[in-house]
A = this chain, B = another copy of it.
Amino acid sequence: MQTARMPGAGPVDNTTSPHARLRTLPFGDVRLSEGFWTGRQAVVHETSLPTGYHMLDAAGNLHDLRLAAGLAQGEYQGPVFMDSDVYKWLEAAAYTLARRPDPELEKMADSLIELIGQAQGSDGYVDSYWQVVEPERRWQDLSFGHELYCAGHLIQAAVAYHRGTGNTRLLEIAQRFADNIDSVFGPDKRDGTPGHPEIEMALVELYRDTGERRYLDLAQFFVDRRGHGLLDASRQRHSAYFQDHVPVREASTVEGHAVRQLYLTSGLADLYLETGDDALWQALLRQWDDMVLRKMYVTGGLGSRHMGEAFGEAYELPNDRAYCETCAAIASVMWNWRMLLATGESRYVDVLERALYNSILSGISLDGQSYFYVNPLLSHGIDSLIGRKFAERFGWHSCACCPPNVMRLFASLDHYVATRDREGVQIHLYAPADLDLSFAGERRARLRLETEYPWSGAVHIEIQETDGGPWSLSLRIPEWANSATLQVNGQPLATYPTRHGYAIIERAWQAGDVIDLTLPMASRLTEAHPWVDPTRNSLALERGPLVYCLEQPDQDPAVHVLNVEIDPTSALEESWRPDLLGGVVTVEANGTAFDMSAWAGRLYAPLNTTASLARRPTRLTAIPYYAWANRGAAAMRVWIPRGAENQ
């Protein structure tokens, strides 16, 4: 199978960004090869994308665009942001087509692009809701109208389509709309800032793709106008809902609607890469600390509250009512990627990888046909009429933002594997891949990565071709892997320099050189900060980048997963189970199951009621969290109460 050479970079092309430490690679320079993620990409390609196309038709997204194009009659269907799902699908299609030609998929994509072009007005404006339902109120409801949000997704899709296929048709449409927006908004024009951030990073990328400075200026304008009360917060009670409570450079916390917050910080980081605005950067550092030290789930999930789909207070991290919208974790990948590009620090990839393997991957079923919008860390299975919808995956959704968001991320995942700088190449995510790179001016190299990651910590890298000049290979050492070992051509490196969490090997590489990185993949038990109320005296089981969970189908049928404790001293026994959930490593531990009869008919009871419960040893079997709820609704927990030692 021949892989198409992508003419541009992936989602982010910071080749010329003045304030980048690391540069993204042209998309085709890294090609994932058969392994964990190509499996997910294949499911997205073969199932999610075609299913999604039909869902866009069935749910009315295409109908709405046809209405705008004058090609159909009837009522507008769905929420105001229906177009954005079409654009995210197109972005996913673009990355997919860049990796592998698919005439069928290309035909679908082209038909959508054709339709968008037909819907676009002569002035460049295109937004089916505001064209069809309230044409007289265009740009009147920036708080909840989502016009700039949809425009941002159109631009991202267009840049991706241009980069992925070389076809400029969608880019022309998007640029006409961007020019229309630029003619409306600006310092001497209409004032405003979007209720749902998204256009900021899109405009920066459009600037990168076209070289047109006015798009960067427009992004800057929208950013600078935020936090000045231009948005009407009455519908959500507090302007923090859309991060309008404070000018962006004064923010010190992540607040409000999590996806809005993280699309915004992604756009701000993009701006920083271009402008080097230090006040903006200091705010991003403060906000990142607030998120990672006080408001992030162990799964990388973000947003504690269903109400407002929002970040909670510091340490407010309920397991059962965790919102953890799939899109918020995807937004975290976007933001952390840009923070990495600005700094070269591995801590941003640690957070990115945590979201990717856990709170995002849980958002799509193994078969690619159903989704979670909400990704809780504790489920009783189906125990009430309302809770049911968070225990079972849905086929599509009235607010279908997450499905095409997962598709576009997975389809573009090659982009996040590696970067380059003047000294050499940095590997951030471990996956089997072929890399064909030029860097540091005239250096060139062809590398092959081989690994069973995340199941195995062995990463084998072969230099297949290089030009004989010296360059450095930087390999990320994940936060959990501080006992990682390195060999070059079979010789262990007793020590190696590290910087920003990367092992750095610099030498005049030769074709045939091999590097073996061994990450310690022993399962480990993790605690949460004592101020996190619902994880008290509980342990999470992790292995490599994966967070594990106990799901009812894997346990002794006589034992309810809510009635167990784990022995913290237990050996943790790992088994490769190719038959289970598409192939997973399970982790077994010793624990106890308790007899709850003393609690029957009581919600509160005197001291030592729980301590006195009859206990019997049981074997606990944990699966990767991402794989839960693929066997129907069942009780599941990530955090396991800590029991007595040495059972």
Interface residues of A (CB under 8 A from B): 238, 240, 245, 253, 255, 292-294, 296, 298, 305-307, 312-316, 318-321, 378, 380, 383-387, 524-534, 536-540, 562-563, 568, 594, 596, 599, 601-610, 639, 641
**Bound Cα distance from A292 to B603, whole angstroms:** 7
Bound CA–CA A290/B342 (angstroms): 53
Q: Are B531 and A534 in contact (CB under 8 A)?
A: no
For A529, the chain B residues whose CB sits under 8 A away are 599, 602-605
The reply to whether B525 and A606 contact each other, CB–CB distance below 8 Å, is yes
A607 with B313: CB separation less than 8 A: no
Tell whether, in the assembled complex, residue A314 and residue B605 are in contact, meaning their CB atoms are under 8 Å apart. no
- Report yes or no: B601 in contact with A293, Cβ–Cβ below 8 A: yes
CB within 8 Å for A524 and B599 given contacts A538-B536, A641-B530: no
* Among A315, A525, A607: residue with most chain B CB under 10 A: A607
Q: Which residues of B contact A255 (CB under 8 A)?
A: 384-386
A-B contact pairs, 17 of them (CB 8 A): A240-B386, A296-B603, A298-B604, A305-B321, A313-B386, A314-B384, A318-B318, A318-B534, A320-B533, A378-B533, A527-B606, A527-B608, A529-B599, A529-B602, A529-B604, A539-B607, A568-B608
- Which residues does chain B contribute within 8 Å of A320, judged by CB atoms? 312-313, 315-316, 533
How many chain copies does the complex carry?
2
For residue A293, which residue of chain B has the nearest CB? Answer: B603
Chain B residues within an 8 Å CB radius of A604:
298, 526-529, 540
Question: How far, in angstroms, from A380 to B605 measured CA to CA in the complex?
Answer: 27
- Nearest neighbor of A389 in chain B, beta-carbon distance: B238
Decide if A562 touches B385 in the complex (CB within 8 Å). Answer: no
- Whether A525 lies near B603 (C-beta < 8 A) is no
Q: Complex Cα distance A292/B604, Å? A: 10
A376 to chain B, nearest CB (A): 10
Quote the shortest CB–CB distance from A570 to chain B (angstroms): 11
4 residue pairs, one from A and one from B, having the closest CB atoms: A537-B537, A307-B307, A533-B534, A525-B607
Q: How far is the CA of A583 from the CA of B540 in the complex (A)?
A: 45
> Shortest beta-carbon distance, A622 to chain B, in Å?
15
- Complex Cα distance A312/B318, Å? 12
**Minimal beta-carbon separation of A143 from chain B (angstroms):** 18
The complex places the Cα of A293 from the Cα of B605 at a distance, in Å, of 11
A608 to B387 alpha-carbon distance, docked (Å): 34
By a CB distance below 8 angstroms, the chain B residues around A525 are 606-607
Query: Using Cβ atoms and an 8 Å threshold, which residues of chain B touch A594?
Result: 530
User: In the bound complex, what is the Cα–Cα distance between A294 and B380 (angstroms)?
Assistant: 13
A384 close to B563 (CB less than 8 A): no
